[in-house]
Amino acid sequence: MDTLIFKSTYEESGYFDKDAQGWCAYIVEITCEDGKNVTIRRFFDANGYVANDSLRHGTVQEISKDIVTILLERGEKLYYSLQEKRLVIPQ
């Protein structure tokens, strides 16, 4: 079985801010380079100024169809869609 490797960056939400003179966005970066350890970075980019930068670590717990279950350090679970290349809420 091949090692599951994935990396994606996407905008969770955003808006144009006339005071910041540009686009402001909440960005999510997800990386898994070894098939087990996952890094999730969330930050707010205000037209080049990065604020509210947070980093979380987890491990791949299960892969079912195209959904990867990620177990975070404190027991919380997140779900990553290999098809959509983003965190999702499973149906």
Instruction: Assign 61 a pLDDT band (cuts: 50, 70, 90).
Output: very high
The predicted-structure confidence for 9-46, as pLDDT tens digits, reads as follows: 999 998 888 776 788 899 999 999 999 999 999 999 88
Q: What is the pTM of this model?
A: 0.85
The CA-atom distances, in angstroms, between 25 and each of 32, 64, 73, 81 are: 23, 31, 26, 21
Q: Decide if 74 contacts 67 (C-beta within 8 A).
A: no
3-state helix, strand, coil in the chain (%, to 5): 0, 70, 30
Domains of the chain are 6-88 (2.40.128)
User: Tokens representing 88?
Assistant: 């999702």
